[in-house]
Amino acid sequence: MIGYIIRRLLYAIPILIGVNLLTFTLFFFVNSPDDMARIHLGGKRVTPEAIVKWKDDHGYNKPLLYNSGRPGTGKITDTIFYRYSVRLFVFDFGSSDQGRDIRNDISQRMWPSLAIALPVFLVGILVHITFAMLLAFFRGSYLDTSGVVLCVIMMSISSLFYVIGGQYLISMLLRLVPISGYDLGFEAVKFLILPIIVGVVGGIGASTRLYRTFFLEEINKDYVRTARAKGLSELRVLFRHVLKNAMIPILTGVVVVIPLLFTGSLILESFFAIPGLGSYTIDAIHSQDFAIVRAMVFLGSVLYITGLILTDITYTLVDPRVRLE
């Protein structure tokens, strides 16, 4: 298995190179280094000399992919792409075009992101499984039918409405929690309650419905019938046998997103003014800070690939029949 993991990790390298190639090309098609210089030098009284100087300072005065003016390997290495993308592989993100160290920023903003994403993820799974089990338990009854209809209704509502509605109701009308913001330590709790509730509620519809089908699939299997025939109560059957087996598709489905929890949620973070990585990314797009964009794309890809590998490993752990080769 270790051999397999190593091979997967090696395979990640060409993927990451591809990711970088794509982001660099797209970004430089949109933003010429001149544009970037202008943005960072501000709107007033910018001279052409200042722009040339800025480009020199930040290494954007070179060709993007191929430097025909250089001998030998210099043709490849003396380019923006080589200069900036190789460093990413050792997680040296350098400093943003504004001059702040990106790794420092990421390590700071990671925690608020996690503070929202992790509870949303854990509470979410718990709530969704509970609801799904309830529906499965009452399968066929009016509770089940109305529950499923409710799920479909809930998943037909745009996530923006959950946020807007939650903010309006809980914060503005009832004044129960601060409307937005963030604080360090224990003080953060009052800011996190609402986004977490909104995040969990917004996901109920789709997840509950999906998990319900997992439960129903298990419930209809022979071993469950046998257990029931043995006289085990319905609840015990559900908890002892069905839950355990239905957890396999649920877990393997969610493992892939675990690493991505670090990058946070774009919408929740920007609506609730949480200084996490999600809002960091949005801000970088808006201010066209390429250093941050490429760092976040790279980080996102690395985490995604990690998630894929974790998923494979989970498969072997929960199902011994699967072997990685």
Partner 1 sequence: MNSMPFQPEILWTDFLIFVLIGSFLVFIVYTLRHEHLRVPWRQVARRPMAMASMVILLAYVAVGLMDSIHFRPLQEGQNPEAPVYSNEVLSLLDKAAMPLRARTEKTYSAPFAMQAYSKETVEYPDGGHARENPRLLYGGAHLQDPSERAADIVRRAGTATLAALGLWSLLVVGFLLSWRQSHEPLMQTVRRLVRGKGEFPWRAVLITSGILIILVLNAVYLSLYYHIFGTDQVGQDVFYKSLKSIRTGLVIGTLTTLVMLPFAALFGIMAGYFRGWVDDVIQYVYTTLSSIPSVLLIAAAILTLQAYIATHPESFTSATERADIRLLFLCLILGVTSWTSLCRLLRGETLKLREVDYIQAARALGASHLSVMARHILPNVMHIILIAVVLDFSGLVLAEAVLSYVGVGVDPTMDSWGNMIVSARLEMAREPLVWWSLAAAFVFMFSLVLAANLFSDAVRDAFDPRLRK
Partner 2 sequence: MKRPGATRYALLAISLIFSAGAAASWNNPYPAAEAKSNILYSAFRERPKTFDPARAYSSNEYLFIAQIYEPPFQYHYLKRPYALTPLTAVSVPTPVYFDKHGRRLPHNTPAAAIAYSVYEIHIRPGIYYQPHPAFARDADGRYLYHALSTHDLAGIYAIGDFPRTGTRELAAADYVYQIKRLAHPKLHSPILSVMNEYIVGLRDYADTLKKEYEKIAGGRDTGVFLNLAKFPLAGVEEVDRYTYRVKLHGKYPQLLYWMAMPFFAPMPPEADRFFSQPGMAEKNLTLDWFPVGSGAYMLTVNNPNRQMVLERNPNYHEELYPAEGEPEDGAAGLLDDAGKPMPFIDKVVFSLDKESIPRWNKFLQGYYDRSAVLTEGFDQAIRFTGEGDTEVSDTMKQKGINLRTSVAASTYYLGFNMLDPVVGGNTERGRKLRQAISIAIDFEEQISIFENGRGIAAQGPLAPGIFGYREGQAGINPYVYDWVDGKPRRKPLEYARQLLVEAGYRGGVDPASGKPLSINYETPAIGPERKAQLDWMLKQFSKLGIQLVVRATDYNRFQEKIRKGDAQIYDWGWNADYPDPENFLFLLYGPNKKVGHDGENASNYDNPEFNRLFERMKNMENTPERAEIIHRMLEIARRDSPWIWGMHPKNFLLEHSWMYNAKLNQMANNTLKYSRLDPDKRAERRVAWNRPVVWPIVAVLGVLVVGAVPAVVTYRRREREGAV
**C-beta closer to partner 1: residue 46 or 155:** 155
d(CA 293, CA 36) in angstroms, rounded, equals 13
Near partner 1 in 162-221, by CB under 8 A:
164, 168
DSSP assignment letter at 186: G
DSSP per-residue codes, 86-99: HHHTTT---B-TTS
For position 277 contacting partner 1 by CB under 8 A, the verdict is no
Q: How far is the CB of 12 from partner 2 (least distance, A)?
A: 27
Residues within the interface to partner 2 (CB under 8 A): 31, 35, 38-50, 53-54, 57, 95, 98-101, 104-105, 108-109, 134, 137-138, 141, 143, 167, 171-183, 187, 190-191, 233-234, 270-271, 273, 275, 280, 283, 288
d(CA 28, CA 36) in angstroms, rounded, equals 10
**C-beta closer to partner 1: residue 159 or 316:** 159
For position 160 contacting partner 1 by CB under 8 A, the verdict is yes
d(CA 79, CA 84) in angstroms, rounded, equals 8
d(CA 58, CA 289) in angstroms, rounded, equals 12
Per-residue burial over 248-283, b if 16 or more Cβ lie within 10 Å, else e, is: bbbebebbbebbbbbbbbebbbbbbebbbbbbbbee
For position 293 contacting partner 1 by CB under 8 A, the verdict is yes
Burial of 286 (0-12, 13-18, 19+ CB in 10 A): exposed
Q: How far is the CB of 100 from partner 1 (least distance, A)?
A: 20
For position 155 contacting partner 1 by CB under 8 A, the verdict is yes
Q: Build a one-symbol-per-residue string for 27-66: x at contacts with partner 1 by CB under 8 A, - elsewhere.
A: x-xxx-----------------------------------
For position 23 contacting partner 1 by CB under 8 A, the verdict is yes
For position 96 contacting partner 1 by CB under 8 A, the verdict is no
The beta-strand segments (E) located in the chain are none
SS3 state at 101:
strand
Residue 305 contact, options partner 2, partner 1, none, Cβ 5-8 Å cut-off depending on partner type: partner 1
d(CA 96, CA 62) in angstroms, rounded, equals 18
* Residue of 200, 291, 297, 309 that binds partner 1 (CB under 8 A): 297
Q: How far is the CB of 147 from partner 2 (least distance, A)?
A: 10
* Binding-site size, partner 1 (CB under 8 A): 37
For position 249 contacting partner 1 by CB under 8 A, the verdict is no
